[in-house]
Amino acid sequence: MNKDPLHNIKDEIERKVFKNTEPVSQKRAILTKIRNEKQKKSSVKSIFINLGVPLCIILILSILGSSYLFNEDLVKENENEQEQEEPAELTYVPTDEWDEKIIDEKVAIRKSATPVDEVSEEPKQESEAPQEKKEEEDKTKPADTPPPLPAFDFSMILNDPNTFKEKAANGTFVGTSFTIGDSMEGIQEIYKDKYKNLDTKKGHKGYDRVEDYLLYFQDEKTLLEVRSNISPSYTLDRVIATLGEPYYFLNALEGVISANYLYGDYIVEMEIQGNNKIKPNSMEEIQFIDRESVITSVALFKNDGGSKSLSKDIKYLGEEPTEFRTEWFNEARDYIVENTVSHAVILHSQQSPLEFNIVVPQETPEDEMRAIANQFLKRLTDVSNKAIEEGTIWNDYTYVIHIENSIDGYYDTGLSNSKSTHEGGYPDINWMGDLQSIE
């Protein structure tokens, strides 16, 4: 019998409580509890694993795919860079983070580069073919064939005046290679059968000929002048509209008037034909130029002082000359009669040349007579200039002045000088000689 008085009661209670329950060992209970805990943890992990594995697979595939595409682009880029011979460091494969910056840097490098070599190589390749073709053509031509010499075309001057002026200023006849100073032997060697000695005589000059071109040489056999005759298709008026106002020259020996332009050390001479007029009693002075005159020849030669004979002081046909007024003469006459020993001044002609007689006493010295003539012309010039807005009457008129001794008939005659002007504003008097008798 148990000493514990309550032991029996305790046993009785346990039998009643656990009557229908199978007792389980403490070890088994602990293992069961541990198993349950593991199942709970494994269920949570399985959820994460089920979600994480597909995500990892997708991430790996995306990385592999992007790397593959980038590498493919990189291969193409490397091929382009090899063709353009760019530095090797530009083929560096950038990371995703620096991709845009690297690309921008490459673009900047390409823009800043100057592909001189690439540009220069292509034209060289293109120019090689024409050069080879030209060499083949040269081989087919005979070795003695002279360079082409086209007929002179005056339209080259009017259509391209700047080139014409540039060539003329360098002594080269436009449209040709003829240059002032070339040797006769050199030209003959080039043109051979086309060269003809002294083929044309013009005025006092003998010209050699090469097709349409006339060549004038000095004794040293150097080229002094190139000339070409042309058909009368171009008017002086058209030339003036393109090249401006020319200088004019009257060649009294040949009876030819020319329009001239000065370029550098050279003169371009264009001979003209038209209704041009020479001043009466003068063989060296032009009175009128017809703007409708036609150009008959063009020449180029060096300016060796010939420009001193050129003049722009002319009138064009159709421009009305200044009308000579008798009141101008009357005022000049009255001044001479009142202020000199002359007692009469007579007007014989109001057309060019104006003709005057100055009558002086017998005892008048020769130098005083001529001084009276100068006083009369100066007074006439001053009076007429006040009435003329531009220029002077001597632009349109010449004069003849006689000094006459009324008793014994001695006289002297003076003509207007077209080449020099008196300080009084009128042409100098060219006296014909000492006082002579009219008998």
DSSP symbols for 290-308: -TTPEEEEEEEEE-SSGGG
Give residue 53's pLDDT: 66
CB-CB neighbours of 56 under 10 Å: 10
Inform me whether the pLDDT recorded for 182 exceeds 80. Answer: yes
Domains of the chain: 155-316 (no CATH), 326-437 (3.30.70)
Q: How many residues does the chain have?
A: 439
Interval 164-176: pLDDT, tens: 999 999 999 998 9
Q: What percent of the chain has pLDDT over 70?
A: 65
Q: How far apart are CA 74 and CA 92, in angstroms?
A: 9
Instruction: Give me the mean pLDDT over the 130-157 stretch.
Output: 65
Inform me whether the pLDDT recorded for 161 exceeds 50. Answer: yes
More confident residue, 389 or 39: 389
More confident residue, 78 or 160: 160
Q: How far apart are CA 139 and CA 133, in angstroms?
A: 10
Inform me whether the pLDDT recorded for 284 exceeds 90. Answer: no
Cβ contact 190:146 at 8 Å: yes
Burial class for 379, CB neighbours closer than 10 Å (0-12, 13-18, 19+)? buried
pLDDT confidence band for 121 (50 / 70 / 90): very low
Q: What does DSSP say about strands 315-316 and 286-289: parallel, antiparallel, or unpaired?
A: parallel
Long-range contacts at 162-171 (CB < 8 A, ≥ 24 apart): 165/263, 168/261, 168/263, 168/264, 168/266, 168/268, 168/300, 169/263, 169/264, 169/265, 169/266, 170/264, 171/264, 171/265, 171/266, 171/300, 171/302
- DSSP characters over 178-198: -BTT-BHHHHHHHHGGGEEEE
Instruction: Give me the mean pLDDT over the 202-228 stretch.
Output: 88
Inform me whether the pLDDT recorded for 329 exceeds 80. Answer: yes
Give residue 287's pLDDT: 78
Listed residue (293, 309, 297, 299) closest to 253, CA to CA: 309
Give residue 395's pLDDT: 79
Give residue 31's pLDDT: 66
Half-sphere exposure of 209 (CA within 13 A, CB side): 11
Least confident of 112-121, 213-222, 247-256: 112-121
Collapsing DSSP states into helix, strand and coil, what is residue 267? strand
Inform me whether the pLDDT recorded for 104 exceeds 90. Answer: no
Rounded to the nearest angstrom, the gap between the alpha carbon of residue 46 and the centroid of all alpha carbons in its chain is 90
Q: What pTM did the predictor assign?
A: 0.49
Give residue 193's pLDDT: 85
- The CA–CA distances, whole Å, from 282 to 279, 286, 417, 426 equal 6, 8, 10, 17
Helix then strand count (H, E) for the chain reads 10, 17
Interval 295-305: pLDDT, tens: 999 999 999 87
Interval 370-423: pLDDT, tens: 999 999 999 999 999 888 876 788 878 889 998 887 655 667 888 888 778 888
* Phi/psi of residue 200, nearest 5 degrees: -135, 135
Instruction: Give me the mean pLDDT over the 324-340 stretch.
Output: 94
More confident residue, 307 or 29: 307
pLDDT confidence band for 120 (50 / 70 / 90): very low
Structure tokens at 364: 């008048």
Structure tokens at 368: 């005083």
Interval 251-274: pLDDT, tens: 888 889 999 999 999 999 999 999
Inform me whether the pLDDT recorded for 240 exceeds 70. Answer: yes
Which range in 64-68, 138-142, 222-226, 309-313 is most confidently predicted, on average pLDDT?
A: 222-226
- The CA–CA distances, whole Å, from 100 to 93, 97, 287 equal 12, 8, 86
Beta strands (DSSP E) in 75-219 are 195-202, 205-210, 213-217
Half-sphere exposure of 304 (CA within 13 A, CB side): 6
Instruction: Give me the mean pLDDT over the 217-221 stretch.
Output: 83
Give residue 169's pLDDT: 95
Inform me whether the pLDDT recorded for 124 exceeds 50. Answer: no
Listed residue (400, 407, 381, 402) closest to 392, CA to CA: 381
Burial class for 276, CB neighbours closer than 10 Å (0-12, 13-18, 19+)? buried
Give residue 205's pLDDT: 82
Q: How far apart are CA 285 and CA 311, in angstroms?
A: 9
Least confident of 193-197, 267-271, 278-282, 351-355: 278-282
Give residue 295's pLDDT: 96
Give residue 297's pLDDT: 94
Instruction: Give me the mean pLDDT over the 329-339 stretch.
Output: 94
Whole-angstrom Cα Rg for the chain: 57
Adjacency order of strands within the sheet including 205-210: 195-202, 205-210, 213-217, 223-229, 294-302, 266-273, 256-263, 247-251
Instruction: Give me the mean pLDDT over the 178-206 stretch.
Output: 87
Listed residue (308, 290, 312, 279) closest to 417, CA to CA: 279
More confident residue, 228 or 204: 228
Give, as one character, the DSSP assignment of residue 89: G
pLDDT confidence band for 43 (50 / 70 / 90): low
* Phi/psi of residue 275, nearest 5 degrees: -85, 60
Q: What does DSSP say about strands 277-278 and 256-263: parallel, antiparallel, or unpaired?
A: unpaired
Listed residue (236, 323, 315) closest to 278, CA to CA: 315
Least confident of 168-172, 183-187, 310-314: 310-314
Instruction: Give me the mean pLDDT over the 104-133 stretch.
Output: 52
Which range in 8-22, 275-289, 348-362, 402-416 is most confidently predicted, on average pLDDT?
A: 348-362
More confident residue, 220 or 353: 353
